[in-house]
C-alpha cells in the first residue's frame, strides 16, 4: 500500500518514521523490518530499524539523482506472524 510521497534534494540525508501502532493488535509488536529500493547505486537507504517502542520504525534516505523517482518498499513482520508491506514514492528535485 502506498503510504507516502517524499521529495528531497540530491545531497540531503533525511530520516523518516513510520508508526504501526494502529495496525498492531493489543500485545503485538514488530519483530523484523526490511527495506528495498527499486534502483541501486543512486539513492541510498540506511536502515530501516525498529525503534524501542516495538511499534515504530525509522529509516534514512540519502543522495539520489535530480529528476529521478524511486520506489521504497518496507516490509514488517510481527510477533503474531503478520506481515505488512508499505511503499513510498520518492522524487529527487534540485531546488
Cβ count near 95 (within 10 Å): 6
Cell numbers that stand for 33 in this block: 523490518
Pairing of strands 2-8, 83-92: parallel
For the record, the C-alpha cell of 28 comes out as 503485538
Q: Can you give the pLDDT of all 95 residues of the chain as single tens digits?
A: 888 999 999 999 999 999 999 999 999 999 999 999 999 889 999 999 999 999 999 999 999 999 999 999 999 999 999 999 999 999 999 98
Q: What is the DSSP string of 5-64?
A: EEEE-TT-EEEEEEE-TTTSPTT--EEEEEEEESS-SSEEEEEEEE-TTSSEEEEEEEE-
Amino acid at each position: 500500500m502506498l503510504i507516502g510521497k517524499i521529495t528531497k534534494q540530491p545531497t540531503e540525508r533525511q530520516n523518516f518514521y513510520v508508526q504501526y501502532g494502529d495496525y498492531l493488535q493489543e500485545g503485538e509488536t514488530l519483530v523484523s523490518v526490511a527495506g528495498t529500493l527499486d534502483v541501486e547505486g543512486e539513492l541510498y537507504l540506511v536502515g530501516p530499524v525498529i525503534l524501542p517502542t516495538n511499534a515504530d520504525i525509522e529509516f534514512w534516505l540519502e543522495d539520489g539523482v535530480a529528476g529521478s523517482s524511486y520506489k521504497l518498499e518496507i516490509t514488517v513482520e510481527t510477533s503474531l506472524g503478520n506481515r505488512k508491506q508499505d511503499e513510498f514514492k520518492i522524487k529527487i528535485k534540485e531546488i
